[in-house]
Amino acid sequence: MIFKTSRTVESLSYKQKVLLMVGIFLCIELGLMVSSEFSVALPKIIEDIGGVEFYSLVFTVNLAVSAIVTPIVGKLSDMYGRRRLLIIGILIILVSEVLTPLLVSNIYHLMIFRGIQGLGGAATAVVGLVVISDIFDIENRAKFLGFYGALNALTAIVAPTVGGIFVQYMSWHWVFYSIAPVGLFGLFFVIKYMPEIPKARNASLDFKGITILSIAILTFVAITTVGGTRVPWLSLTMLMLVLALVAAVTLFITSQKKSVDPIIPLHLFKYRVFIICLLSVFAMMFAATGLIYFLPMFLQNIYGFTPTETGLFMTYRGVTSFIFAAISGFIVAKLKDFRLVAIGAMIIFGGTIFVLTFFTTSISSIAITIICLIWGSSSGILISIFHTGIQMNLPNKDISIAMGVVQLFVAIGSLLATSLLGLFLRNANLSLGFSYLLFTCLGVVLFALVVFIVALQRRNLRAESETEALKQQNLNEELV
């Protein structure tokens, strides 16, 4: 059976651990690869199957399913084992990707399959990142999370080009078929080297919490999807949606307090480093999504750059992102602390946005190239640095759930950015709208940077988290 093995973490050599991580990273990248290629192919797919009015919903469905699943899969991996959940997640992606071009005949089928792929992608990403903490010590976790960031950057460079080639010279169907060899290669290493990691004792699923959390996430998705477009922000309908979201979040918190085995244990929020990293990852994803999604449009419509030139600028960003993501892992491992690297990356990112505010009417290709190269040096680090901070400073027993919550905040930051920042596109003066967008992103980054510095400097974060974990353990024993 592929779900069972006699291997243990202790029986793996360092080389085998590296090969396992190669397999895991390749499988995690399946979701990003097909999303990047898919974004290029979607106009052609829509041309063939119709449904242009649901264009944005195809992306939203994938993000919504991922957001709902991410907090749950960490708990499931504790209950049923990392190996089983990881392999199931990989198989869901592979099978759904191969079946998509064969079975999709309309936009509704496409949204269903993208939702299934969001499920598999979330399971693979969350469990795959948790495995790093299961098999490596604290210093090596930083290195491999750095490699993970580098691979993300490399995929962001290569996948859109590959997708474009498939669409232009073959057919959009090959966007989905093309990931099969990568997935099978990664799956081989996972099946061969993934050890059996002990399951959590007496763990159970909090179905009430899952239901309320799903309602809250779906309500949030509805707000960010229709807010300011189909439904005015100041309308009664929007007010009702916001009130429903507040009610759902309140009910969720109440249910987690009462639950014997909560889906998101509230004691996680007693770890200072966890709260600050969540805030930081949300802020960085919000600002990064704003630039990645909207900067190319502004470059073409305000400055007159061609789509090819804009693509090159984004490629320059990807190159430095790849380099600095890999380097940052070794620096963090050497320092045995993630804070200085995180602060440096946030300062560079904020500085990049600040410099862009001076170019709201004109900019040279040399200037934007330099800006994108510098931006890439920070974005490569920010992809994984807060994951690193959590894995280096939280007790091992909490990391699986914490990684799911982090991925949830990544999705929420991205969803909120596409909705709120998209409002600036409506400004009659597009240059002024671009200024507003940049200052909004800059404000979010600076706020997160200040909070990060004030809250986390001059503290022994690992010792602080262990002390808090001990307090929680004593409290649980008293309640029992």
Confidence of residue 394 (pLDDT cuts 50, 70, 90): confident
Spatial CB neighbours of 74, under 8 Å, sequence gap ≥ 6? 126, 127, 130, 400, 401, 402, 403, 404
The pTM of this model reads 0.82
Tell me the backbone φ, ψ of residue 231, rounded to 5 degrees. Answer: -125, 120
Residue-wise pLDDT for 153-194, tens only, equals: 777 777 777 777 777 788 888 888 888 888 888 899 999 988
The CATH code of the domain that includes 47 is 1.20.1250.20
Q: Are 270 and 468 spatial neighbours (Cβ–Cβ below 8 Å)?
A: yes
Q: Is residue 204 part of a domain?
A: no
Residue 202 within any structural domain of the chain: no
- Looking at the structure, do residues 326 and 414 belong to the same domain, yes or no? yes
Clarify whether residues 273 and 234 are in a common domain: no
> How much is the CA Rg of the chain, to the nearest whole Å?
22
Residue from 442, 327, 320, 418 nearest 369 by CA:
320
Asked if residue 235 and residue 152 are part of one domain, the reply reads no
* C-beta of residue 147 within 8 angstroms of C-beta of residue 323: no
Residue 158 within any structural domain of the chain: yes
Tell which phi-psi region holds residue 417, choosing left (phi > 0), alpha (psi between -120 and 50) or beta.
Answer: alpha
pLDDT band at 247, cuts 50/70/90? very high
- Say if 203 falls within a structural domain: no
Length of the chain counted residue by residue:
480
Shared domain for 343 and 408, answered yes or no, is yes
Which of 196, 226, 247 is the endpoint of a domain? Answer: 196
Q: Are 380 and 153 in contact (CB under 8 A)?
A: yes
Task: Indicate if 171 and 303 belong to the same structural domain.
Answer: no
pLDDT over 80 at 77, yes or no = yes
pLDDT classification of 242: cutoffs 50, 70, 90: very high
Are 84 and 3 contacting, i.e. CB atoms less than 8 angstroms apart? Answer: yes
pLDDT of residue 254: 93
Q: Is residue 414 a part of any domain in this protein?
A: yes
Query: Do 280 and 172 share a structural domain?
Result: no
Q: Is the model's pLDDT at 477 over the cut of 70?
A: no
DSSP for 147-175 reads: HHHHHHHHHHHHHHHHHHHHHHHS-THHH
In DSSP terms, 231 is beta-bridged to: 227
- Token pair 């380097």 is found at 327
Residues 306 and 371 in one domain: yes
Give the pLDDT of residue 162: 76
CA dihedral 168, 173, 174, 175 (to 10 degrees): 80
Whose tokens are 């919550």? That residue is 405
Residue 476 has pLDDT above 70, yes or no: no
Examine the domain organization and report whether 238 and 283 are in the same domain: no
Residue pLDDT, tens place only, 192-212 = 988 888 776 666 778 888 899
Mean pLDDT of 348-358: 92
Assign 203 to helix, strand or coil.
coil
Q: Is residue 316 part of a domain?
A: yes
Phi-psi region of 228 (alpha: psi -120 to 50; beta: other; left: phi over 0): left
Query: Is the domain of 184 the same as that of 253?
Result: no
pLDDT at 478 over 60: no
pLDDT tens for 296-347 read 777 777 777 776 777 777 778 888 888 888 888 888 888 888 899 999 999 9
Q: CA 153, CA 438: separation in Å to the nearest integer?
A: 23
Report pLDDT for 451. 93
Instruction: State residue 328's pLDDT score.
Output: 86
Q: What average pLDDT does the segment 60-84 reach?
A: 84
Structural domain includes residue 263 = no
User: Is-contact 445 346, C-beta < 8 A?
Assistant: yes
In three-state secondary structure terms, 71 is: helix
19 & 140 share domain: yes
Residue 10 binned pLDDT confidence (cut-offs 50, 70, 90): confident
SS3 (DSSP) at 136: coil
Range of the domain at 249: 209-258
Same-domain pairing of 384 and 273: yes
- Tell me how many domains the chain contains: 3
Q: Tell whether 439 and 299 lie within a shared domain.
A: yes
Q: Is residue 213 part of a domain?
A: yes
Name the domain boundary from 143, 161, 196.
196
Mean pLDDT score across all residues of the chain: 83
pLDDT tens digit sequence for 421-464: 877 777 778 788 888 889 999 999 999 999 999 888 766 776 67
